[in-house]
Chain A
Amino acid sequence: MTAGTVTPGTRAAGRPGRRPAARLGWLAGLIIPVVLVAAWQLAKSLGALPYDNVPSPLQIWDSAVSLTRSGQLPGDFGHTLAACLLGWVIGSAVGAVAGIALGLSRVVWSYSMASVEVLRSIPAIAFIPIAVIVFLQSLTMEVAIAAWVSIWPVAVSTMTGVAGVTSAHRDLAASLRMSWTARVTKLVLPTALPKMLVALRLGLSGALVLAIVAEIVGNPHGVGYALVNAQQQAQPAEMFAYVLLTGAVGVALNALLSLAYRRLAPGFHLAETARRGHGR
């Protein structure tokens, strides 16, 4: 974004002034949520809300606190997160192996890529009923579904990432007489890593969504079931507490992943944010 053309204020001056301005911008971002919540509370207190059963922010806060005290809310989120993370790890591992095979071997690619395309374009949601029939209402069912949805982005991105290995690198590996495993760990994986990191992130969001859906539809545990349960018992404050916290968990998972990226692979993180257009 260049300064000069879009400068509504005095702020967006030059590079050096960028940092404090950005921090201020982040604080400015708190204005709207705070105003919204305050307006919501006010409207509720004055009885101006159209729906009677919309809870006020304070009621939501109260129910979140009491759910946390009783241990129900942490337990539910723990269950959902466990299913999501376990499935994500398994699915990503499978996806990475598949992606490396697809990217390295022309034969594997040409004899299976179309199958992968078909399987990955089927919405994972559609497999939940079959998972429920096979694994019944269990954690295994959730994990299986979360793993299934994580496989595809990682597999495809790893494949395209592996394709980025240049012929010069391949020649280098040949002249160093690198073993096959050395080639994969020292050449192929590092080349594919940036794309894999982006896909891992996608996979994690997908796994969280699918774990929740699996709980709404199949396994009566965790956040998804808590939502349905609160709906059936007409407890809107509880529902809002769960929904709002689910969003917070989504944000937190992503923030943690970003942090891990920055720690483990600083250069790649830069590349990734550059691709997304702006840093944090």
Chain B
Amino acid sequence: MAANVESPPIRASRPVPRRASRARKRRSAAPLRGLLPLAVLLGVWELADLHGNSVFFPPPSQWISQTSSLVHDGSLFPAVRQTLVTFVLALIIATAIGTALGVLIGRSELLDRLLSPVLEYFRFLPGVALVPLAVLFMGYTQSMELYVVVFGAIWPVLLQVRLAAREIDPVLMDVRRALHLSRGAAFGKIILPAVAPGVMLGVVIAAPLTLVLALVVEISTQVSGIGKLLETAQQNFLAAQVFGLIVIVGVIALLINVALSLISGWLFRYRPPGE
């Protein structure tokens, strides 16, 4: 049994992960020529409406010109920063709370049984429904936004960590007992590393949700951020600006994905792939 526990890190030494990761890359990373349809669409779009007469579907060149006016009046970058700050803060807080609660619940059969229906309920309660409620009690404030976003983002992390904590190899807990590790040491040295993939999976699921929630709060309330810019542009029927902002949101979402996969690649660099 002990040999079993130790073997993964040994197997993970050089050649295996490298070969496997290259194979995986070949399979999952879509080639850039796949962007062709999107590029053709945008090109046709541009050519079909050179004069920019369409109210609903203004051509891409107008997106740029109308969005750059947001840069000139200095409202774009503060809004992007605001949304990103909320996103990062909320994700970190939600991850911390979700991990702590997830371990607590996952490691205790009693708690798990007691809380299971409550967790199932909150998991399916759309976080966006809470926005008007939060506004009523906290007003249109930045801290209201943070509360709502954190509340919505906790669940994916909590549920994934609970699952991971529940499935920790019993042998590992025997190791803890054999080594007479204190509670704190056991948490840091055994439990946390064991649930780390669950945490990461939870964060990957929670990240888009967090961004969405932040945008919803900003769109539907007066809290500043990209969402508010979107809402303002829509109310002024600036379709081109809306499209420009959608592109910006898309770029942010893509960057978040890339950042998360870099972080998870770095965190689990010693693990054999496919684990």
Contacts and interface: CB of A to CB of B under 8 A. Distances in A.
Interface residues of A, number: 73
Contacts, number: 200
A274 B121 CA distance: 21
Contacts of A115: 34-38
Contact of B136 (A2, A117, A236): A236
Interface stretch (A65-73, A130-138, A166-174, A183-191): A130-138
Contacts of B200: none
A105 interface: no
A242 B216 CA distance: 18
Nearest to B247: A122
B231 interface: yes
Interface string A101-127: 000000001111111111101111111
B129 A223 contact: yes
Nearest to B249: A126
Nearest to A24: B113
A111 B36 CA distance: 7
A254 B124 contact: yes
Contacts of A25: 113, 116
B250 A133 contact: no
A128 B220 CA distance: 11
Given A51-B137, A121-B253, A247 B37 contact: no
Contact of A231 (B135, B242, B250): B135
Given A32-B114, A208-B126, A250-B126, A126 B30 contact: no
Interface of A: 1-2, 4-9, 12, 25-26, 28-33, 51, 53-54, 109-119, 121-130, 132-134, 205, 208-209, 212-213, 216-217, 223-224, 227-228, 230-231, 234, 236, 239-240, 242-243, 246-248, 250-251, 253-254, 276-278
6 contacts: A32-B115, A111-B37, A114-B30, A205-B124, A217-B220, A278-B166
